[in-house]
Structure 1
Amino acid sequence: MTTMIQRRRILGALGAAPLAAASLPAWAQGYPARPIKIVVPLPPGSPPDVLARLVAERLQEAWKQPVIVDNRPGATGMIGMDAVAKAAPDGYTVGVMFLTHTVLPALFGKVPYDTSADFVPIANLVWLYNVLVVPPSVPARSAKELVELARTQPGKLTYGSGGNGSPAHLLGESFRQLAKVDMLHVPFKGPSEAVQALLGGYVSAMFATTSVAVPLVNAGKLRAVAVTSPTRLTALPSVPTMAESGIAGFDMKEWEGIVAPAGTPRDIIAKWNHELTSIMQLPQIRDRLSELGMEAAGTNSPDQFTALVRSELQRWTQFVKTTGLKAD
């Protein structure tokens, strides 16, 4: 009898061993133990994509596992973020979240996920600034001249963007409101398509990210009339800020960070945050970001990034309500 009881206990213990191991935190089991995926909700070559690839390369070196950048463009980033929200919360799928995702809920009324509840913010990585550019066909050499031109032709000048709720859309709407001009928003399927339309003269103006605008301005294909940064950009020292151009109250900068699906263990979130913070402090990474018109956000905890996302959700919900901003 005693022998039979002992056998049952031994067998029970052996059967419970896998369950006990499975209940251990993923990090305690040697995370990461297989390839990792970073979902970018925009096409290759976009600022979030470039950032993700810089990070992926360093993560591979540090963690000795493949880090795959998975581009999931569409619906102004909602398709990609929905994939992240629905992924297993095990640390092997994360995504790049940016400012746009805190505008979409208010702009569309409904998105396929809950921005405030379905993600765990890990770390904000960068701040970005934009350049107000026009094609050579538009006879404006400053923001002031663009405003004057728009006032003489109400409703005829247009500004392009990569889609409803995109940073270029928000910047264009802010410009329209603050400058008190009547300009028509023209959304495209992505920032690359919008830039091509601008180069072709199909739209009158656009707020383009520094990494996109500077090469085109230097090549003479576009004209820069103002920058959204608080001080002049090193890459465009002769281009005035919006404040210098007489448009006060223009306070907006983009951000891009990494988020995981809700439910991802805190120890894995902590490991990601530690590694991302280390990567963003590397001089070569900071220099490369500067070349791309990005500024490393500095050390920030998951709680701090969570606070940023929540404050941006509140800010843009209020913006949509007070301005009556609509999806075109």
Structure 2
Amino acid sequence: MLKSVARRGLVLLAVAAASTAFAQKTTAPAPRAAAAPAAPLNWPTKPLRIIVGFPGGSTPDLVARTIAEPLSKALGQPVVVENKVGAGGNIAADLVVRANDNHTIGFMINGNMTIAKMLNPAVPYDPQRDLQPLSLVGTAPLMLTAPVNAPGNDAQEFFLAARNAADKWSYGTPGVGTVGHIGMELLKTKTNMNPVHVPYPGNPQVIQAMIGNQIQLALLPPGLAQAQVKAGKLKAIGVTSLGRSPLAPEFPSLNELGIRGFQLEIWVAAAAPKSLPKPMADKLSSLISEITRTPEVRAKLFQQGWQAAGTNAEGLANRVKSDTAVLGGVIMMRGIKAE
């Protein structure tokens, strides 16, 4: 049975390689879209709700609030951001799915729109069945980091030390099934290293554990990792974008360091319930995409640690499909289940 699951996971990973190449084209900033099919002239008729599954001040929350103000001006109605925290954003995503007032959307991260149901069959919604993509707003790579006294003078020596250490090394993540967890399991398949997973409540605890040499590896958002690297408390190995990232241009990509084809990003996107009529969804998709690509918003997103994308709905749908294949393949091959 395990061999069958592993084979199926490997097949999904092979398919994902082609899907990722296709998604890179479709998630590039979209050309200026033609006017969307007209929504009713009196829509929206009341404030638009944006539900975010993470606390105030979190990066998804900051992104939602950055888009909310110009979106309010464009719609001629208030746009209210509501934080519904819990289950890694899945509680908020389920609230969006269940909304039937035609005035509710959500800002979500990768997992909420791709692998939520695969990780935990008890999740009450199916991302691809129940959510309507609007726009991929921002993307960011992760940064492979290690304690400042980690062995090796370069990346090659570091990976050699990691392989030799086998399961004597461990890596930290902000939880089972997070992109950092799945990404590290994918990295293990490409490097033949085998550190043991140690989940923590959040990335701040992961950082402290690594500074204290309790763990030896972690994939962290660049905004969090860079401050520690510049302070001399952590060592940066490389970023998970295919090439160097504008968010951390001084650091090489893992692909550049010899882990060919390795690419992994975190992202935040806007989605609506499937019940939202298409003319309204098209209007929101067009506006959010256009707002995201304005110089002012691009600059704000960059300061928050995101590279602005601003795709149309199709671009986000293709990204969801590609990431579901990549991350889902790792989940199946490694037997990962949310706790």
TM-score scaled by length of structure 2: 0.79
Q: Which moved more, 1:117-126 or 1:64-73?
A: 64-73
Change (3 A) 1:145 1:110: farther
Q: Give the one of 315, 320, 324 matched to 1:313.
A: 324
How many Å separate the matches in 2 of 1:118 and 1:309? 13
1:31 — aligned with what?
43
Aligned AA for 2:120? Answer: F
How many Å separate the matches in 1 of 2:250 and 2:137? 28
1:6 — aligned with what?
none
Q: Give the one of 181, 184, 187 matched to 2:196.
A: 184
Q: Give the one of 45, 55, 74 matched to 1:62.
A: 74
1:171 — aligned with what?
183
Aligned AA for 1:182? Answer: N
Task: Confirm whether residue 127 of structure 1 aligns to residue 173 of structure 2.
Answer: no
1:63-115: CA deviation from partner (whole Å, max 9, x where unpaired): 3433222222322222221121122241x221122222312322223421111
Change (3 A) 1:199 1:71: farther
Q: Which has the higher contact order (CA 8 A, sep 6+)?
A: 2
Task: Confirm whether residue 95 of structure 1 aligns to residue 101 of structure 2.
Answer: no
How many Å separate the matches in 2 of 1:237 and 1:305? 25
Q: Give the one of 72, 81, 93 matched to 2:93.
A: 81
CA contact (8 A) 1:74 1:189 kept: no
How many Å separate the matches in 2 of 1:230 and 1:311? 15
CA contact (8 A) 1:141 1:223 kept: no
CA contact (8 A) 1:277 1:299 kept: yes
How many Å separate the matches in 2 of 1:278 and 1:83? 26
How many Å separate the matches in 1 of 2:86 and 2:203? 12
The offset of 1:264, in angstroms, is: 0.6
Q: Which moved more, 1:141-150 or 1:209-218?
A: 141-150
TM-score scaled by length of structure 1: 0.82
CA contact (8 A) 2:222 2:248 kept: no
Q: Give the one of 315, 323, 326 matched to 2:334.
A: 323
Change (3 A) 1:233 1:306: closer
Change (3 A) 1:187 1:80: farther
1:179-212: CA deviation from partner (whole Å, max 9, x where unpaired): 1111111223344443444445443221111222
Change (3 A) 1:189 1:65: farther
The offset of 1:50, in angstroms, is: 2.1
Q: Give the one of 251, 255, 262 matched to 1:250.
A: 262
How many Å separate the matches in 1 of 2:45 and 2:279? 15
Aligned AA for 1:50? Answer: L
The offset of 1:295, in angstroms, is: 2.0
1:153-204: CA deviation from partner (whole Å, max 9, x where unpaired): 2212222222222111122111122111111112233444434444454432
2:55 — aligned with what?
43
Kindly name which structure, 1 or 2, has the bigger radius of gyration based on alpha carbons. 1
The offset of 1:269, in angstroms, is: 0.6
The offset of 1:137, in angstroms, is: 4.8
> Which blocks of at least 5 consecutive residues in structure 2 are unaligned?
1-37
SS of match in other structure, 2:172? strand
The offset of 1:122, in angstroms, is: 1.0
How many Å separate the matches in 2 of 1:151 and 1:125? 37
Change (3 A) 1:154 1:323: same
1:19 — aligned with what?
none
Change (3 A) 1:62 1:134: same
The offset of 1:30, in angstroms, is: 2.1
CA contact (8 A) 1:89 1:263 kept: no
Change (3 A) 1:219 1:284: farther
> Which blocks of at least 5 consecutive residues in structure 1 are unaligned?
1-25
CA contact (8 A) 2:142 2:264 kept: no
Q: Which moved more, 1:250-259 or 1:195-204?
A: 195-204
CA contact (8 A) 1:73 1:80 kept: yes
Give aligned pairs, total. Answer: 302
Change (3 A) 1:50 1:194: farther
Change (3 A) 1:173 1:34: same
Q: Give the one of 239, 246, 256 matched to 2:251.
A: 239
How many Å separate the matches in 1 of 2:177 and 2:43? 36
Change (3 A) 1:247 1:258: same
Percent of matched pairs sharing the same residue: 33
Q: Give the one of 115, 123, 138 matched to 2:127.
A: 115
1:262 — aligned with what?
274
The offset of 1:234, in angstroms, is: 4.3
